Structure formats: C-alpha cells, structure tokens
Amino acid sequence: MITELQPLSRVLLPVDSLEAFSRAIPLLGLLIRTMKIEAKHIDLLHVVAGSFLRDYMKSINIAAGEVPSQEDIHHLRKRYIDDVVLPLMSHAGELLRKETAGLVPGVLMEDGDPVKIISSVCQKGFYSTLVISRRNLAERSEKLTGSAVAGVLHRHAEATIYLVGDAPTPTGISVFSRTLIGIDGSPASKNAVREAGILLSRVNSQIEKVLLVHVLDQSCYYDEDGVTCIQAGTLGQQALEEAGNLLVAAGVDPAKITTVIHFGKPGTILAEEAIGCDATLIFIGRRDRSRMAQVFLGSVCTDMIQNCQERTIILTS
C-alpha cells in the first residue's frame, strides 16, 4: 500500500559533516518558518558507515589473516560515537535551534551504507522531504557518479529531495525571488508544480518571477509514436497552461508567472535558462531510472545538478 505524502509534512536531514550541514541550515530554517513545521516532524540522521575502522585496519596485517575481533569493533565504534558523532549531532542541533528560535529536532543514528540507510529511513519513516547538500569535492565536481547525492537520486524514493545550492543566497534576496519550474506534463512534473505552489503561495510578496519552462526535445523529429513536432509543441503549451493554472489555484500571483517553450536538449536548456534568469530556486520532476539508463540516456536531473551547483534544486517524484 502506497501512502501519499503531503509535501513538507515530515523532514529528514542527514548530517555527515558540520560544513555541509551548515550550508543546509538557512534553507531548512526558511522551510520550517514558511510551512510552520513542528519539531516532532523533523529529524537529523547520522549514518555510522564504518569509517571508525579505517585507522585500525591500517595497523594490522590483513594479508596474514589478521581481522578485528567483535570486541575491538564494539570498542572502536563506541569511541567513535562518543568522540565524533555525539559532538557532531549536538553542534548540528544547536545550529538548528539558533536558526529556528528554539526548535529541537529528533536525532537518529544508524549503521550501514549511507545511501541505502538514508533511502530506507526515508521510506520507512514516511518522510515527505529529504534535505541534503554536497559534502566533498567529488560531489561538487562535474562527475556526480559515485557520490552520495547520486546514490540517493538513483534509488526509488517518494520523498521530495531538496538539494541545497553551494552558494548562499545574496543578502537581501529571498530564495523565493526567482523560481524556475521545468514542465513536461509528467506526474513528477505536476508534483513539482504542486509543491512549488504550496511554498510560493505563502510568500507572494517575496516573489519577483516564476518562470515555467517547457523544452521541446529534438527527438520529436523521429518519435516512434508518430507525434509530430507541431503536436508536441501543442502538448507542451497545454502543459504550461495547466501548470500556470495549478499555481494560480494554489494562490500564486498570476502577474508574476511567465511561460516559455524552447527547443533542444531539456537538461542543457533548463540549466541555461536557470543561469540566464539567475534563478534562486529550481523545481523539476524526477523520473525513476536505473543507473545504467542514466549512462546511456542521460538525465535532466543530472544535467541540472551538474550545471547549477550554486542553486538550490527541488526534485519531486
């Protein structure tokens, strides 16, 4: 049985390093204040991934058959939690309390592979929202393969992913100022519009522009279903109109909504449009696709994440 999750009703924030967590705090605080999310619906998660064994493993001769005993593992894990994890989570909680005037989140600790654990906790805990940020150079480079962010994206999850931009929003500018929403008429795209409407309707005074963008893919020239480019363009226009109507129905000021259709590779065009309009927030639908399919077919989400690293991107399923 699939439970429909209400947007921004329950939030999970993985904590791996204080530097990455600190970049997520302003956005998280803004979401909490805008949506009036209660503390009981917000959890911080740290995954103990086995790094506490790294130094110990260097000190033994694995080739000779030396392995750590269960007692050694238990002792090393406890020391790691006491010396590293508990102080990290305490500092993270304090940063969140300062940002939200006293909100005290729940704290979770799990053992295992970070990607698998984050995905599992998110699904089993019925979290509507996952707030994450890149933590290392690999995840900030043009190659996303192998990063924790990529791992989470490649796993099925109902939760909406808020990927925090690497650059802070300039002082005096609201993160809601210039919002770009990728429109393609898919269920995931419609959910992106829905979530954007829920947020933006509460901050109309902070909005400068809401840009709805549909990209007519060049594949329409050889569509096997017989859909011509003219027909595809008509469908795109209909999708834009439907998206605009959904936003207006949610309470977004129609005077601030602009629509545009482009032709080309969707991921590339959307990234160029986001940079061109200096978008402060980007919403796109995330379609489930295997890692192998990503390699051969590409992904709009991957293109956006790689080319718009300074901007916060919201990925809905």
pLDDT tens profile 109-161:
999 998 899 999 999 999 999 999 876 544 555 454 456 777 787 775 689 99
Q: In the predicted model, is pLDDT for residue 163 greater than 50? A: yes
List CB contacts of 231: < 8 A, sequence separation 6 or more: none
- Per the model's pLDDT, the better-predicted residue between 76 and 298 turns out to be 76
The yes/no answer on whether domain 178-316 falls in CATH 3.40.50.620 is: yes
| CATH class in words for 11-164 | alpha beta
Tell me the whole-structure pTM to 2 decimals: 0.88
pLDDT band at 295 (very low <50, low <70, confident <90, very high): very low
Which amino acid appears at position 22 of this protein? S
Helices within 168-228 (DSSP H only): 187-200
Q: 50-54, 164-168, 191-195: which range is least confident on average?
A: 50-54
Q: What are the Cα distances from residue 270, in Å, to 67, 115, 163, 299? A: 51, 27, 17, 12
Question: Which residue reads 């991107």 in tokens?
Answer: 313
Q: Which residue has the higher pLDDT, 157 or 77?
A: 77
- pLDDT grade for 253, boundaries at 50, 70 and 90: very high
What is the structure's pLDDT at 292?
40
CA distance 15 to 21: 6
pLDDT at 240: 97
Residue 296 Cα to chain centre, angstroms: 23
Using an 8 Å Cβ cutoff, are 284 and 235 in contact? no
Greatest extent of the chain over all pairs of C-alpha atoms, in Å = 72
Phi/psi at 3 (nearest 5 deg)? -95, 125
Predicted local distance difference test score (pLDDT) of residue 259 = 97
Query: What is the model's pLDDT at position 279?
Result: 97
pLDDT in tens, 56-73: 676 776 667 777 778 878
Tokens of 175: 């993160």
User: What pLDDT, on a 0 to 100 scale, did the predictor assign at position 227?
Assistant: 64
Mean pLDDT of 10-30: 94
Span(s) in the chain for CATH 3.40.50.620? 11-164, 178-316
**Cα 128 from chain centroid?**
12
287 vs 140, residue with greater confidence:
287
Separation between Cα atoms, residue 159 and residue 128, nearest integer Å: 5
Amino acid (1-letter code) at residue 248: V
Region 166-189: mean pLDDT is: 93
The pLDDT-based confidence of 276 (bands split at 50, 70, 90) is very high
3-state SS, residue 212: strand
Residue 145, pLDDT score: 46
Answer whether 25's CB lies under 8 Å from 95's CB: yes
Which of the pair, 57 or 97, is modelled with greater confidence?
Answer: 97
- The candidate with the shortest Cα–Cα distance to 217, out of 259, 268, 271, 264, is 264
**Confidence grade of residue 213 (pLDDT, cut at 50, 70, 90):** very high
Q: How does the average pLDDT of the chain come out, rounded?
A: 86
Q: Is-contact 196 227, C-beta < 8 A?
A: no
What are the two backbone dihedrals, phi and then psi, of residue 149, each rounded to the nearest 5 degrees?
-60, -45
Taking a C-beta distance cutoff of 8 angstroms, is the pair 311, 168 a contact?
no
